[in-house]
Chains A and B, each alone.
Chain A
Amino acid sequence: MYEILKKTILNPTVARMEIAAPLVAKKAEPGQFIILRVDEGGERIPLTVADFDREKGTVTIIYQIVGATTMALNQLEEGDCLHDFVGPLGTPSHTEGLKKVAVIGGGVGCAIAFPVAKKLHEQGTEVHSIVGFRNKDLVILEEEFSAVSDKMVMMTDDGSYGTKGLVTNALKELLDAGEQYDEVIAIGPLIMMKFVAKLTKEYGVKTIVSMNPIMIDGTGMCGGCRLSVGGQVKFACVDGPDFDGHEVDFDEAMERATMYKEFERHQYDEACNLFQKEVR
């Protein structure tokens, strides 16, 4: 059992938890993920390692309430325990030798982008962060990102905070202004990563994306998370989750992500009803 030591609400649908998991904390690197089960009988869901403290033996996760399992997770409070918490899984993000990087985070993807930006900053890389959210209420990790960025651009779709527009607008502006990046690292919804990759291809800038397909075991034994990268089949849980954004077949990945859409909607509705009853 893995105790929740701290829980912080970041915005109406996103929260952060610090979990006691010393062995995971000891090995975790930015770019890696964990798989958890909330309770006995629960499903296994992957979440990225948002931060870790090797000395305290804690791993931080940030989740968005999107379905039944994240809703059940959000019902837990400090002092409660997760049934299973396994990791670190996946291959760590490659950061060595990078001098100047643009880190792009979209929505809750910022939680995944942040540890990468932090590591780059700590090793002396010049970090330009572009973070995008639908609106002001959904903004997370603003201070954290500012602290590790040499330049930071805040974007909102509706202009309620920062600059109005998409992260690609901001990136295009920087590239047009002559910024030269060794790499662009984009983490967020598939559609966002797809358009970032499309843009940077025109500019010939190497782009790494962090893929988030459906997973079950997360150890390479089922292939549920497979993707086409450069025409080859890759398992995101062991070969990734980071891949060359110019090689990934995003359209296929977006299709595959909808496999259980109906089931998920049904479970979500059921969960909502259940929790509403409990509140009453």
Chain B
Amino acid sequence: MPNMSLTKNPMPVQEPDVRNHNFEEVALGYTKEQAVDEANRCLHCKHKPCVAGCPVAIDIPEFIAKIKEEDFEGAYQIISKSSSLPAVCGRVCPQETQCESKCVRGVKGEPVAIGRLERFVADYHMANCKAAPVKPESNGHKVAVIGAGPSGLTCAGDLAKAGYEVTVFEALHTAGGVLVYGIPQFRLPKEIVQREIDTLKEIGVKVETNMVIGKVLSIDELFEDGFEAIFIGSGAGLPRFMNIPGENLKGVYSANEFLTRVNLMKAYREGSATPIQHAKKVAVVGGGNVAMDAARCAKRLGAEEVSIVYRRSEAEMPARLEEVEHAKEEGIVFRVLNNPTEILGTEDGFVKGMRCVRMELGEPDASGRRRPVEIPDSEYVLDVDCVIMSIGTSPNPLIRNTTKGLDTNRHGCIITEDESGQTSREGVYAGGDAVTGAATVILAMGAGKHAAKAIDEYIQAKK
């Protein structure tokens, strides 16, 4: 019997006032019973609209049917045909604009909790399946992947499954990209990312860390080393600043620096070798997911007051609704329609305040969003000792500056022909934030997947 409840089974979570003092995972995951009960809400539609909403096209009704039968490992096998990182995606995908937005049950009531079910299946597999995945037989062709973030790992996983000898080159000392340095532990435990990467290694993917491509090796040298195709998934990691006075004071961070210290270097842990400022009053400038992550980390580091300072209204915030809600529950203050104009410092160079102006919304701009306009004489000073700039990132110029014939646009993003990821250089493919500018994990994974298919076709056609 289908479960005709109009609402999703709620996800058990840590209480807001408990979780905002620790870095443990906020969402605790479904129990078996909750998962099976939620799976019974799926109507098993013949035309599967949800699948079209998934950038990697997981056969959603199929895996949910296996959950109904309590064949959780079978469900995992179906997901892993399409996704290399299910435990990650079930946690960080914006399902409300993807798979779940297409769910028939969402027409009247809430859609099926596809993300939560995917997460349940992946976690079940990790906890219960001890058998090592089968390493496919090599087809003798070598492919290099630059960047071990979501797009690179997905591309590498798909190619390895097709028999390619794949080497992933990562600049940092740990693979995972934004999954390890950006998204905090309380949203995505790093142990889970590590296990997903270990699974890739077990199917033959080589991961070489500390390899800054463009410095230690160039794209051309990778071809000389016998790689037949190259996928660039180097992301968009170059932070933007506002260029307002006081931005170089001590206590002003880019969100990337703040999050890298906290997440990758584990500066939140007692006894960490990497320092971080334990500020009392923090302003995070920006309204995206990264801003929410930074604000919630600052709170967990012990800040008394953390504000999101955003120049538009809450309706225009690019962050996921769920993240905004979580942040609010944890006591993050939202100062929308506010824009910083200057950061003020103490005599010894630390942040002591931020001058802001209030804004109102005017006519829509080119992006269709109403443009914020300064309200005259609305200036005031916000009392803060730390400012985190989270106003976006752009692709790092390292690869485009060292690769001849690789076309990029005026934002520094690599230009690709179509969704195959083919660049202006033969045999060179690209995807993820390096192409689109800062976007989502799942879009990057989709791009990695398409590129893997295109690379396979390219190499097979050469023979």
Chain A residues with CB under 8 Å of chain B are 23-24, 27, 37, 41-44, 68-69, 83-89, 216-217, 219-224, 226-228, 233, 238, 252, 255-256, 258-260, 263-264, 267
Contacts and interface: CB of A to CB of B under 8 A. Distances in A.
* 3 A-B pairs with least C-beta separation: A222-B257, A255-B349, A221-B237
A5 B385 CA distance: 46
A43 B349 contact: no
B173 A84 contact: yes
Contacts of A84: 173, 209-210
B161 interface: no
Contacts of B261: 216
Contacts of B397: 220, 238
Contact of B216 (A23, A221, A223, A233): A23
B21 interface: no
Contact of A252 (B215, B243, B248, B272): B248
A223 B210 contact: no
A239 to B, nearest CB: 10
A25 to B, nearest CB: 10
A91 B150 CA distance: 29
Nearest to B393: A221
Interface string B203-233: 0000001111001110000000000000000
B260 A43 contact: no
B265 A233 contact: no
Nearest to B173: A84
Given A216-B260, A255-B348, A223 B215 contact: no
B273 interface: yes
Interface residues of B, number: 38
A87 B209 contact: no
Given A44-B173, A87-B215, A255-B348, A219 B396 contact: yes
A255 B171 CA distance: 29
Interface in B226-267: 237-239, 241, 243, 247-251, 253-254, 256-257, 260-261, 265-266
Contact of A86 (B210, B254, B273, B275): B210
B448 to A, nearest CB: 20
A216 B349 contact: no
Contacts of B266: 41
29 contacts: A23-B211, A23-B217, A27-B216, A37-B173, A43-B275, A69-B273, A84-B173, A86-B210, A86-B216, A87-B215, A88-B216, A216-B265, A219-B171, A219-B172, A219-B398, A220-B238, A220-B396, A220-B397, A221-B237, A221-B260, A222-B256, A223-B239, A233-B247, A255-B348, A258-B348, A259-B251, A259-B277, A264-B275, A267-B275
Contact of B273 (A42, A220, A221, A224): A42
Given A68-B273, A83-B173, A89 B215 contact: yes
B216 A217 contact: no
A222 B250 contact: no
B273 A216 contact: no
Contacts of A255: 249-250, 348-349
Given A221-B260, A222-B260, A259-B251, 8 more contacts: A41-B266, A85-B210, A86-B171, A86-B212, A217-B172, A222-B257, A223-B256, A258-B349
Contact of B215 (A27, A41, A228, A258): A27
A23 to B, nearest CB: 5
A179 B261 CA distance: 47
B349 A256 contact: yes
B333 to A, nearest CB: 25
Contacts of A42: 273
Contacts of A27: 215-216
B142 to A, nearest CB: 18
Nearest to A271: B273
B80 interface: no
A255 B349 CA distance: 6
B212 A219 contact: yes
Contacts of B210: 84-86
Contact of A223 (B217, B241, B277, B349): B241
B398 A224 contact: no
A228 B261 CA distance: 23
Contacts of B238: 220-221
B212 A221 contact: no
Contacts of B273: 41-43, 68-69, 267
Contacts of A87: 212, 215-216
A233 B349 contact: no
A256 B216 contact: no
A43 B265 contact: yes
Contacts of B249: 255
B400 to A, nearest CB: 12
B398 A220 contact: yes
Contacts of A260: 275
A72 to B, nearest CB: 8
Contacts of A227: 248
B212 A89 contact: yes
